[in-house]
Structures are given as structure tokens and as C-alpha cells.
A and B are shown apart, each in its own frame.
Chain A
Amino acid sequence: MWEFIFKDSKDISGCGVSGIINVKGSLIPGDLIIKSITCQEERGNGLGAGFAGYGIYPDFKEFYALHVMAEDKHYLENFERFLFQKVKAIYHEPIPTKKVKTIKNPPIFKRYFVKLELEEQVSPEEEENKLIEMVMYINANLNGVYILSSGKNMGVFKGVGFPEEIAEFFKIDKYQAYIWTAHNRFPTNTPGWWGGAHPFSLLDWSIVHNGEISSYGTNKRYLELFGYKCTLLTDTEVVTYLLDLLIRRHKLPIKLACTALAPPFWIEIERLNEEEKNLIEALRVVYGGALLNGPFAIILAYNGGIVGLTDRVKLRPLVVAKYEDYYYLASEEAAIRTICPNPELIWYPKAGEPVIIEMPMGTIPNQKSYI
């Protein structure tokens, strides 16, 4: 079942996004992100919403947390038989959910805290590659199950419904995180499939995205060159893989990776000094296949930071604010003011200009930095 998701028709949607980070690593109650995203209710149509929280599993922080959804018990058992050959699960349990009247027949959700069973010692990067490989394999080949997220000390909660329904269903108010992102979706042509909601996540990357990527065909073929299979036909999947390729595999600093996705125009590049000009020109020449063309605003999060980025002409909105150790990102200013009425700073980033906010190194466990 769930085969319709692999059928060849592309997902098209508009949306609302929100994100919060505390750069000192203090925990933010789930209520805040719920409030911010539900403020942007008009931006969704009840066909998808979701949350990603970082720092939510301090007791299992050294383990990859797999958030798994299954169509029924039978598929889940089948999946577990496969999974337990590959990994050592220190602990697993159903993800706590609550009955919500408006949500009919939800899938079942379970989380697994796992370590890879490897014969030999490998570098952390290789270990991550192996995990990604396994997750992609499961998502593409195992029927009736889907891994929503697979990072350490983080997790994605998403489904078909309005944000407040999904929040209630997953009891988001019971979690605390140092980074939150959330999404409210307005799909125009996809069947209500829980896996199709945002955030989209791979390892500890998670992405919420508002927009439609007109260069999808180019990006998808470009990713195939590096072995990524785009199975979901969503733009967000493409964005996630591109960032994984550029940042994690090609080791580009996050700022340059963002520049590759939303580069300045040639006329702007001409005005740069020689060294910068050569760099950005080379970036566009080599990573032309990674350029995301079309309207988008994305919020990207990882263990250690949050990034906001819009397309090169800013056809979708994004606003950023700061108050003490908190930074807020959202589609609309109201979504920030509702949880932070008097920010010290509030600004609308320029088209294609990434907003990168990282915690100082050493703030949280397993922290990553891509600056």
C-alpha cells in the first residue's frame, strides 16, 4: 500500500512556516511553536502540518531516534524484522498520541533509539552515510512503513490535519526543545498522505518549505548523479538532498551552499571583487544543477543551528526577529509577534540572502557547525 506516493505526479503546495532557536541551548516549550504556526492558519488547508524539535530526547542523545509511521501492525512487524537485523535498538516505544475527533484513521507511530551494528570501526561520517542509506532503502522498498526522521536527539511529528490538530494528536505541548520548526501546508494536488507533510528530514537535517520549485526536473536529475533517488516527488525532498550533498558530502560552508541554491544574479556578481567574483562564478558554474528556481522560503534546522533562505527574487515571504537569546523565523510577522510581542530586532532578509543562526560550539551534545 501507499504506492500512490510513488506515482509520477509532482506535489504542488503553498504554505506557512515558523522556527525558533535559543542559542544558549535553553529548552523552549512546545506551546510556543504551536502558537506561532496556528497564527498562520490561513496559509494551510488542513491537508498537512508538522513539527520538528531538537533536544527532545536528552536521555537517548547518543542514539539515532527513528520516528516511524506504519499503515498497520503487520507492516510494522515486517519492518521491525528488517530493522533489528541492521541496528541495535536500545529502546523503542509507541509515540504517544491522543485521539483527536477530526483526525480519522491515523497511521500508527513508533520511535526507536538505535545504534548501527557495524563490524568495523568507521568514521562518524561513514556511519551517517550508512544510516542514510538504510533509511532511504526502507522508505523506497518496504511497504506500508515510512521513516519520518532519523537524527540524534531530535524528531519529526507530522500528518494530515491543521497544525493545532496535529499538535494535539502528537501532544507537542509535552515536549521541550532548543530548536523548533513547524509547518502548515496548502497542497493542491496530493492525496492526504501523512508522510507527505513537512518537516522533511534526513539524519538531523529537517526542512520546512513554502513554495514550488520550477527547476524540479533539473535538480532531480542533478541529484541522481550522486546517487540520490527522489521518490516522494516533493520539492522539499529535493531541497533536503541538495543540502546534504553540498554541506555534508561536498563540505561547502553553509553560506556557500545557500548561495548555490539561491545565487546572486550575474549583474550582481560582476560588481564583486575579483576573488569573490571568481568564487561565486565557479559556484554557479559547478552547481548550476543545484540552483532552486521558483518561489520558495525554507527554514532548515540541524543539531546546532537554524537557517532561513528565500529564492533569488523572494517570491515567498520570510521574516526574522531576535529577542535576547531567541531568534524567530516565520512567513508572517504576526506569527512572531504573537509569541514575542516586543522583539529587539525584526527584519525581512533580502532575496537569496541566507540567515544563519548557530549556537556557540559546545552548547549542546553532538553539536554540528557548518559555518
Chain B
Amino acid sequence: MKPINFSSFYPDFFVERLENKCIKCKICVKECTYEVHTWDEKKKILKEDHGKCVGCHRCEAMCPTDAIIIKRHPSQFREHHLWNPYFIKNIYKQADKGGVLLSSTGCDLPLKIYFDHLVIDACQVTNPPIDPLREPMELRTYIGSKPEKLEVEKTETGYKLKKALPPLIKLEMPIIFSGMSYGSISLHIHQGLAHAAKELGILYNTGEGGLHSSLYEYKDHIVVQCASGRFGVNVDYLDAGVAIEIKIGQGAKPGIGGHLPGEKVNEEISKTRMIPLGTDALSPAPHHDIYSIEDLKGLIYALKEATDYKKPVFVKVAAVNNIAAIASGIVRAGADAVVIDGVRGGTGAAPTMFRQYVGIPIELAISAVDKRLREEGIRHKTTLIASGGIRCSADVVKAIALGADLVAIGTPLLIAVGCTLCQRCYTGKCPWGIATNNPELIKRLPPEVVYEKVYNLMNGWKSEIKEMLGAMGLNSIESLRSNRDKLRAIGLTKEEMEILEVKHAGE
């Protein structure tokens, strides 16, 4: 008996071709990696298989005569508030194939977005706003552990430091790039991002896929990640950047390890990761040498030892229920920076149930952690990096006012290079040439384009952050840090405002 696939009956998208505009150039056939468009040689017509379309809009964008429109499929189920089509279709999929549902990018549920319930202050009359075009406006930020106080001694001409500061990394703006592994996204993206990080004076993160040899030249702007799979980790790798990030977890899938589907493991990737060609790269849920906070301390100091105490060590964790206590433990274990990744944090591949339902929003997490570290008097010992769900420069400003030192971003960078958030990165077929390693596909996005787009985006955000700071009467980013007075809440409960430590608008 022929197998029945219920999931194939009900397409998500509808590919509309305007016959009066279509010139039968067949570009769509070439551009769509999901084989939606086909050319019928006999009948000399173009056909479309709606069921295969993931809604990436590549064909629509590339069609020279604008003859294609990608829409939601109009076919509808009878309304049911509980059993909406999303759940129905997921059940069909699992009934057809078994297994775990996969998704990409971050949680797409309509959970409350706290950033959108916070508004920013500005000066009026009693203190003057500062014009960033006319006055210096400083965004410089340092990552690393800082002493509580300075000791100085007199010299003939003035004063000097008694003891040099521990290793710090200087950034020209309070944003760094999140770890996205080589493998989950193309080499071109890594090359473009590393280049942009260098020009912007910030940091690019290797992710857990190791470091491709073409990237060694960006040494001063690289954070190398050491995740549970330890792919590509050796002493040269640890030495290849200015900081090392131990990845314990990520917001898109707290509690489980990374997953790079075998389809994406080609020769270059297998070399960089030091794994066989075509095999799934699965990182274990825990690091097999970390089963407690003492073990984390052990690893932090092993990495510091291996690199002569010259590089700050970051620890990245997903924002989960007890994040404040967890972060405090991580700081006490010696982390020079803690990256906290909220529930909205993106991924190349995650089990849908994790992406959607595990973890807490970054806004609440960062505020709670900042507060806890202050209460314990250890806030200066670490740098707090907020990530997961930052969409624009105002979100950056809000995250810093909520207690972060800086933010890390991933998804905005991919959108900057064409990602349409079709959320099918795990297939390895990304028609935009982003989440793929197919040698033909990655040509669609050369490193120079990645560099330029990302550079432009970051420059835009930089100007906006300066404008917002100036409007608040500040000329240096450190005066925004933890400055909850610059925020007001709209439509939040007392409890939420208490956690965020903000007052309601009008108060």
C-alpha cells in the first residue's frame, strides 16, 4: 500500500504565478532549493508544488518580472481555538514520520515581549540633551573582571597604578556577535562577520564549530567557543582569539546540546570540526567534565591556565528559572563574563518543544541577575552580556538600562544578509545561502556582501544609540548601565515591574 502523508495534504504557503507577467525564464526553478517550481518540457509550462514551499521568498525576490507572490495558503480548517492549524499539522508530521519536531531561529510564540512594554526617557528643560553630532558620545565598553577599587602611588609628575588591571577586551560599541557555528551557517558568513567585527572594533564568536583557517587573521576580534562537543578544540584554537567562551547552554534549547544535521557536514566542516564527513554532529547535553559548579570552576581555570591567564573566559548559559542564583555561582567560579541567552535566542536547529517552551525572557533574566550580583557585591567581578531577542538599537539601550554591560546578537545579523526567517535552517537548503554549506548555494552570498550589510547595520545602530544617549543627557554608555530611572513601564504588573526594577509610566 502506498504510504499516506497527511502532512503533505495541507500546504502552509501558496505560490501564485501571474501568468500575464511570467516570461518563463525558469529562474525560479533554479533559485528554489525545495524543488517547488518545475518546468514541464512537454506542455511548456511552469508548475508549482505548494506543499514543498517553506515561504522563504527567494523566488519571489529573484523573479525578474515580479510574477510570483508567496502567500499563506488560503485553505482553512474549521476554527478551533485550542486546536489551531499549527498543532494539527505538527501532529500530522509526527504521525507520518515519528521523531522529534525540529525548528530553527528563536521562539515564535506570542509571549510577552517586555522590551515593547518599556519606554525610554529624554531630557526636557531641566537638563539639556546632548547632540552627538557636536559633542563626543562614548560607547566604549570593556569586557572582563574588574577590581573593586584602584590603588595608586605617587610619582614625580603625578600618579601611577600600583597594579595593572586583569585582562580586559576593549569594544568600540556595546554589541558583540553571538556564537553561530561554522556548519550551521556558511563560511562566507563567518568571513564577513569576522571582517565586520574587526572594522567595528568589536567581537565575532566562532560558535561551537571550530575556527576555519581563513579566519586566523582576525585574531584580535575573535571569541573561540568551547562547547560540550569540543569540536575543533585544541591549544592552537584556544589561542586563536582574545577570549574563550564556555557554552553551557543557549536560549533556543536550554538543557540540551547542539545539533548539526549530517546533511550540512561537508569536507571543510568535517576538517574544522574534526569529525567524519556526513555524520550528525551532536554535542551532549552536559559537558562531560562538568557536573557541578566546582567542575565549571575547574574548566574555567584549566582554560585560563592553558592560555597563561591572558584571556578572559566567558560562560554562556540559557536564561532559566533560577538564573540569578546560577549566574552568581558562575561568577564565583571565576567567569570574567557571563552571557545570558533568553528564550527568544536563535538556533540553526532545535527540537520545537524546546525552542518554544523552555527558558525565560532575557529582559527579566538580565534584571534579576544584575540585581542579585549587586546584592552579593560581586557585580564588578564580571561582565554581563544579554542576548536572545534583541531586534533594534532601542532594545540594546533597554537591555543595558536593565543591567547588562553589553548585548550579543545573532538573528539581526542574518536578517541583515537576507534571511527572511522561514525557520527552516535545519534542512541545510537555505535558498539565501546563509544556513547552508552547499558550495553552489553559498555563492549566493559572498563574504564582501555579508561584511558590508553587517557593517551598515551596526553603524546605523551605533548612531541611534548615540542619539538616544544624548537625548537622555548622557555622553557615555557607562552612565546608562543599570540606570532603570531611564525606563518606564507601560502595561506591566506590579510584580513584573519589581523584577525589572522600573516604575510605571506617569510615576
Contact = CB atoms under 8 A, between A and B. Distances in A.
Interface of A: 8-10, 12-14, 188, 211-212, 214-218, 221, 224-225, 250-253, 255-256, 265-267, 275-276, 278-279, 282-289, 291, 293-295, 312-313, 315
Contact of A214 (B138, B479, B482): B479
Nearest to A292: B479
Nearest to B139: A266
B128 interface: yes
B368 interface: no
B485 A217 contact: yes
A211 B401 CA distance: 22
A125 B379 CA distance: 27
A285 B401 CA distance: 18
Contacts of A10: 485
Q: Closest 10 CB pairs between A and B?
A: A217-B485, A288-B478, A215-B479, A214-B473, A217-B483, A293-B479, A212-B127, A218-B483, A250-B149, A265-B136
A286 B374 contact: no
B82 interface: no
Contacts of A295: 127-128, 473
A265 B138 contact: yes
Contact of B152 (A267, A279, A293): A279
B25 interface: no
A328 to B, nearest CB: 27
A313 B146 CA distance: 27
Contacts of A218: 478-483
11 contacts: A10-B485, A212-B127, A214-B472, A217-B482, A217-B484, A218-B483, A225-B379, A266-B138, A282-B161, A286-B148, A295-B127
A14 B483 CA distance: 22
Contact of B476 (A278, A282, A293): A293
Nearest to B148: A286
A214 B147 contact: no
A289 B150 contact: no
B71 interface: no
A224 B374 contact: yes
A286 B147 contact: yes
Contacts of A14: 126
B382 to A, nearest CB: 13
B135 interface: yes
A12 B485 CA distance: 13
Contacts of B473: 212, 214, 293-295
B105 to A, nearest CB: 34
B166 to A, nearest CB: 10
Contact of A294 (B127, B148, B155, B164): B127
A25 B126 CA distance: 38
Taking each of A13, A212, A221, which has the highest tally of chain B beta carbons within 10 Å of its own beta carbon?
A221
B474 interface: yes
Interface in B43-60: none
B160 A275 contact: yes
A293 B150 contact: no
A8 B158 CA distance: 42
B159 A285 contact: no
A279 B479 contact: no
B142 interface: yes
A288 B150 contact: no
A2 to B, nearest CB: 21
Nearest to A213: B127
Contact of A252 (B152, B401, B484): B152
A260 to B, nearest CB: 9
Contacts of B474: 214-215, 293-294
Given A267-B136, A286-B147, A291-B478, 6 more contacts: A12-B127, A252-B150, A253-B154, A266-B140, A282-B150, A282-B161
B476 A315 contact: no
B269 interface: no
B397 interface: no
Main secondary structure of the interface of B (DSSP, over half): loop
Nearest to A265: B136
Nearest to A14: B126
A279 B128 CA distance: 30
A371 B136 CA distance: 30
Given A214-B472, A221-B482, A256 B149 contact: no
A315 B128 contact: yes
A217 B120 CA distance: 13
B325 interface: no
A196 to B, nearest CB: 16
Nearest to B377: A225
Contact of B150 (A9, A217, A283): A283
A216 B126 CA distance: 14
Contact of B165 (A214, A282, A289): A282
Nearest to B401: A217
A221 B371 CA distance: 9
B102 interface: no
B127 A214 contact: yes
A66 to B, nearest CB: 30
Contacts of A216: 483, 485
B475 interface: yes
B486 interface: yes
Max chain A Cβ within 10 angstroms of own Cβ: one of B150, B158, B160, B483? B150
Contacts of B485: 10, 216-217
Interface in B106-149: 123, 126-128, 130, 135-136, 138, 140, 142, 146-149
A289 B481 contact: yes
Interface string B482-507: 11111000000000000000010001
B168 interface: yes
Contacts of A288: 476, 478, 481
A275 B149 contact: no
A286 B142 CA distance: 10
A276 B126 contact: no
A315 B470 CA distance: 13
A28 to B, nearest CB: 32
A69 to B, nearest CB: 27
Given A252-B150, A278-B161, A291 B127 contact: no
Contacts of A265: 136, 138
Interface in B372-410: 374, 377, 379-380, 401
Contacts of A253: 152, 154, 159
Contacts of B148: 286
Contact of B142 (A250, A285, A289): A285
Contacts of B484: 217
B161 A212 contact: no
A231 B479 CA distance: 20
Contacts of B379: 225
A313 B138 CA distance: 13
Contacts of B123: 214
A287 B150 contact: yes
Contacts of A282: 150, 161, 165
B130 to A, nearest CB: 7
Nearest to A296: B127
Contacts of B159: 253, 255-256, 279
A212 B479 CA distance: 13
Given A218-B483, A224-B374, A8 B150 contact: no
Contact of B168 (A267, A283, A285): A285
A214 B484 CA distance: 11
A313 to B, nearest CB: 6
B152 A217 contact: no
B158 A276 contact: yes
B183 to A, nearest CB: 36
A256 B150 CA distance: 10
Contacts of A217: 401, 482-486
